Amino acid sequence: MNISCTSELNNILYVVKNIMNIIMIIVPILLIIIFSYLLFKMTLNPDDKKLINNLTNSIKALVIIFFIPMFITIVMYSLGDNNNISRCYLKASKIDTNSTYNDKLAKDKTKATVIDNPRDYEKGNPRQLDFSCKSNVVKAQFSCETLRIVENHLYDVNAQNFNSYINSKGGFDKYAKSLGGVFSEYYGKTVNGRSELDFQRVAEYVLGWMYMYGWDYMNNDGVHVKWGGSNYAKDAFYANGGWERKYSGNFDDLISGKNGVSMMSSECGDLEYFIYWKMGMGSKKVIDHPVSLRDLKVGDGVYFFDAPVGNKKEESTWGRGRHNVIVGEVYDDRVVCYDAGSRYPMTKNYKYTIKIPKENSDAAELEEVRKTYGYGGWAARRFANFEK
């Protein structure tokens, strides 16, 4: 049975957890009071067997009551993420009683703020997603709204139950709409916005589906990496088999099963294609080649090589690329790359930070690139100038 951590279930389990905690606090106090009272009565009537029985029974009952919540807690922690109820129980937290869970997420969206860069504020309007929320289940750092949706739908579908589950929801359109957030807003549509915020939300749409499904990696050289690394994780799409090859077709057709369910896999460069395709820019053209980390902007494609590139403005000098990421966030002191290569299924993390060194030189920047990615050279392409 597939159970999601809805607001109602969260509230119920939150109350249960508090009751368990109260029991574990009150029972020892009651034991002391009852024991003291009966002991006092026994000193006055030492031969009263009824008092002795009452004392014994009271202690037994309270001890049993005390160990019930302890037993429940131990069971929940032992099950951990392997069970939906235990996962919901362990992360249950107080929710605003005047608002449903989805309402609260919608409010969070309207209050989205940047982390630490004043230049990203403009007239009080959010210009970047709120990445401040954390999860004990999802390792990737999605924005608050997307994080909660991904967290609650990790075990919805796999290669075996996909068709029956989607049919039970009334089709993929209705399933996507039921998820909320970018998943319901963007499925089956082209995103026309051209701001950095639009780009980041589309990136979360793509990477969020990948995470909920438990997406594999497959490159043109035949290298296959499972969601989970060496062995499939329990939330992997192919945990019970069914994988055949790399994706074919556009992203929405792929996730909706129109091309079958055996191709939920891609490689590093496909993230760039998926995002730009979703924004109606699949036939993108290079408009510039940034040459410094300081010049990078959201949406830029970054490519890594074994050796330093001769001329970053001339692609003919680049040589054979080894890896490809896309710039998702830019701050004064760092660039955050979104990486859907083999690292994603292995670590379940798609964000990697390259620090911008204080020294403004090619050598200093290359050293920072090496620290994060280990490659000996890099270059970049710009396909659009997204509005801040």
Token pair, residue 331, equals 């701050």
Q: In this structure, which amino acid lies at residue 112?
A: A
Cα–Cα distance for residue pair 15/325, rounded to 1 Å: 44
C-beta contacts of 9-16 below 8 A and 24+ residues apart:
9/88, 10/88, 10/92, 10/93, 10/95, 10/101, 11/95, 11/97, 13/88, 13/89, 13/92, 14/92, 14/93, 14/94, 14/95, 16/89, 16/92
Q: Between the CA atoms of 287, 289, 293 and 296, what dihedral angle is there, to the nearest 10 degrees?
A: 10
pLDDT per residue rounded down to tens, the chain (388 residues) = 445 555 566 677 778 878 877 887 887 888 788 778 777 777 777 666 776 777 777 777 777 887 887 787 777 766 655 555 665 666 665 543 333 333 433 333 333 333 233 233 333 344 568 999 999 999 999 999 999 999 999 999 999 999 999 999 999 999 999 999 999 999 999 999 999 999 999 999 999 999 999 999 999 899 999 999 999 999 999 999 999 999 999 999 999 999 999 999 999 999 999 999 999 998 889 999 999 999 999 999 999 999 999 899 999 999 999 999 999 999 999 999 999 999 999 999 999 999 999 999 999 999 999 999 999 999 999 999 999 8
Cα–Cα distance for residue pair 381/126, rounded to 1 Å: 27
Instruction: Find out whether 271 and 251 touch, Cβ atoms under 8 Å.
Output: no
Confidence (pLDDT) at 302: 98
Query: Tokens 């494609």 appear where?
Result: 301
Spatial neighbors of 19 by CB under 8 A, at least 6 apart, are: 69
Cα–Cα distance for residue pair 273/284, rounded to 1 Å: 9
Instruction: Find out whether 196 and 204 touch, Cβ atoms under 8 Å.
Output: no
Its pTM stands at 0.70
Q: What residue ranges do the domains of the chain occupy? A: 7-91, 102-278, 293-381
Confidence (pLDDT) at 38: 73
